[in-house]
Chain A
Amino acid sequence: MNRTDPFVEFSGVQKTYDGETLVVKNLNLEIARGEFLTLLGPSGSGKTTSLMMLAGFEAPTHGTITLDGRPLNRVPPEKRDIGMVFQNYALFPHMTVAENVAFPLRVRDVAGPAIFERVKRALDMVHLTSFTARRPGQLSGGQQQRVALARALVFEPKLVLMDEPLGALDKQLREHMQMEIRHIHERLGVTVVYVTHDQSEALTMSDRVAVFNEGAIQQVAPPDEIYERPSNSFVAQFIGENNRMTGTVEQREGGQCRVRLDDGTAILATAVEQATVGARSTLSIRPERVRIDPAPGAVANLFDATVEELIFHGDHLRVRVAFGGVSDFVVKVHNSDDRPSLAVGAPVRIGWRPDDCRALDAVG
């Protein structure tokens, strides 16, 4: 087996429940060995169905999934050797923590002493060694999630699936567990497929993110690329904050184009494939990439705007401005001591580089 061959491969996978609508449309995805891949998307986008097909709980209506070169279509879930962590942990309430973690080893007829040793190691890894005799009901949500993690990893599967594992935890614990899962992944080198609808979770944890919408993958790329260079307006909209402006592509030169907004304002932007001359396009720019009072000549797009609203966020300030025909345009200003003084109703000069603004497909 060549290391560059994909470890997991979805090819032409479709899934329908009612024979009418496709929940997953023609999914093609390759996952490399040792990779941390996140399936990100709103609910009903097909990400969980894709995960369930990989785990073996749902059968694809068309196409094949291979794991390590082996087609999985006829392999039942228990023969796939895939560890799985469920949204609500799915710990067995009638067993102690140690029995839960030992379960996959007992199924595999591992000898008693070896079970003890491996359970201890797995619980060490998630810092729960002293909880072996407790029942899941006596643990907090975070502790239960660690047990579920230990249980999914104790039999050393090459692939671990996680279905929104942190969804039920509060924010602080969630962030802590994100780092912990990330570190365990780095240490063990297992391949992880992680499903979430939380974009910040996807960005912080993953090697690559696959953004799902309406049963199809919109973009697969490393987190920074997903954020900086969304390939369509759904991705731009779904990941992070985004100012949207609609217009028509007027002129295109290499990677750049000029888009004329409906009120006549012309904006220079980076063009993606769909932005051909004459086509409608949605411009997308991140609020933190907009500059207030830019140095002369630093940016190609420069506008006179009016401050509409100031919202204080502690570490930053959000400034809603209006210019041309655009009214809900947000600029993010860092709360540092050299921040410009702004007042509601006052005129302000804003601008951005064409590199930071992307001309995407038109929506709405």
Chain B
Amino acid sequence: MTATTASALAAGLGPDGLSLKASLARAERRSRLVSFALVAPLLLFIVASFCIPLGFMLYRAIDNPEVAETLPATVAAMKGWTQGGVPDEPVFAALAADLIAAQKARTTGLVGKRVNYEIPGARSKFLKVGRELERAPAGGPWKPVFEKSDPQWTDPVFWSALKRIGQPMTAFYLLSAVDLRLDQTGALTRQVPDQAIFLDVLFRTLWISLLVTVSTLVLGYPIAHLLASLPPRHANLLMLLVLLPFTTSILVRTTAWVVLLQTNGVLNDVMVWLGLLDERIQLIYNRFGTVLAMTHIQLPFTVLPIYSVMKGISPAHMRAARSLGAGPVYAFTRVYMPQTLPGVGAGCLLTFILSLGYYITPALVGGPLDQMISYFVALYTNRELNWGQASALGAVLLAVTMVFYAIFNRLVGIDKVKLG
């Protein structure tokens, strides 16, 4: 080696004068591009089918287009008006023009429905005044027409609410999803009691998920241990049985539970026949049925990560503990169990998070008080056609899931979790 190359190397420079880092980057650029190209289809798929729809749905939770788009002149006219009274003729004129246009476009009901979320009864009043405006003499004055139609139109509280609802974005749905609302003065208060249901639903969702997670753990841990310690021939057969539920659809499995558990179902029949029961008991359309059916579906998700961690624990550890003086129970709890924690964490986290989103099973085998948050998302999407509320509930579920993930990460450490 010549003196110059030696000094260049010492300075971190390659023979061509480029820094070693730069030549390394250049040498690896091609392979990096190739690997990126290989994952690009999947990346695009995830962006197009998951990230973008998710973003749209989240945006729906704060999007508030109905009033701003249907009553543009009114919203503009109210810009100059300060809250705390009833606006004057120009605002009424603008509202009249907007509503007459809305009548023609048949969108009055849409506005009425949106305002109705916050001021009950407002929808019919919009429809009524809409019809009256069409019959009123053109050119105004418009305020008397409104005054004559309903006292709502001269209520200062209504007008400040309308101004708020006219804004293009709203926190209404999100607040409502956690049983909060803004009152007429714009202050944050609790939702009125007969509409405050979502926190209950949220806690119920968490509680059912927790029950399911604990049940799968209690049932699954011994199975996983058995699977991990049996000789391969038997373990394979048992593994097949554990995986068997995956081969049937959730719907079929859930309906099977209906057949088994209903009051005139197989289980009740057998127990009455055996004389264990005098009266048939309610096993389904309640919390018991919900947790049972969900546990059945979730069991493999809890078992598999625990199994894969147990499989990696050397049997020599238990032997070592025994030879060092630990009885079987002590050795199991102090040496074996702590080593399975990463698998237990992974299995429980998986089951808990999957359980949070359950919809079909509680809907089929649960009672009215066992419906989870997804049921309400579906309800608002399909029946109420209130997509804002549906999206807000979805956003809350997403946020709760992420909070639990973060707590879990802090307690257990997600890097320690092993899924396989």
Contacts and interface: CB of A to CB of B under 8 A. Distances in A.
B325 A81 contact: yes
A84 B321 CA distance: 10
Nearest to A83: B323
A78 interface: yes
B325 A107 contact: yes
B126 to A, nearest CB: 66
A77 B319 contact: yes
B319 A78 contact: no
Interface residues of B, number: 20
Of the listed residues B317, B319, B320, B341, the one surrounded by the most CB atoms of chain A closer than 10 A to its CB is B320
Contact of A88 (B314, B321, B335): B314
B309 to A, nearest CB: 12
A104 interface: yes
A88 B316 contact: yes
A47 to B, nearest CB: 17
Contacts of A81: 325
A119 interface: no
Nearest to B324: A104
Contacts of A103: 321, 324, 326, 334
Interface string B292-320: 00000000000000000000001011011
A303 interface: no
Contacts of B338: 94
Per DSSP, chain B at the interface is: helix
A84 B323 contact: yes
Contacts of A187: none
B322 interface: yes
A56 B325 CA distance: 12
B322 A104 contact: no
A90 B322 contact: no
A76 interface: yes
A88 B313 CA distance: 12
Nearest to B327: A78
B314 A90 contact: yes
A90 B320 contact: yes
Contacts of B331: 78
A55 interface: yes
Interface in A105-134: 107-108
A56 B326 CA distance: 13
B339 interface: yes
A151 B324 contact: yes
B330 interface: yes
A92 B317 contact: yes
Contacts of B326: 78, 103, 107
Listed from nearest, the 3 A-B pairs whose CB atoms lie closest are: A90-B320, A104-B324, A90-B316
Given A78-B326, A88-B314, 4 more contacts: A80-B323, A88-B316, A94-B341, A107-B325
Interface of A: 55-57, 76-78, 80-84, 86-88, 90-94, 103-104, 107-108, 151-152, 155, 161
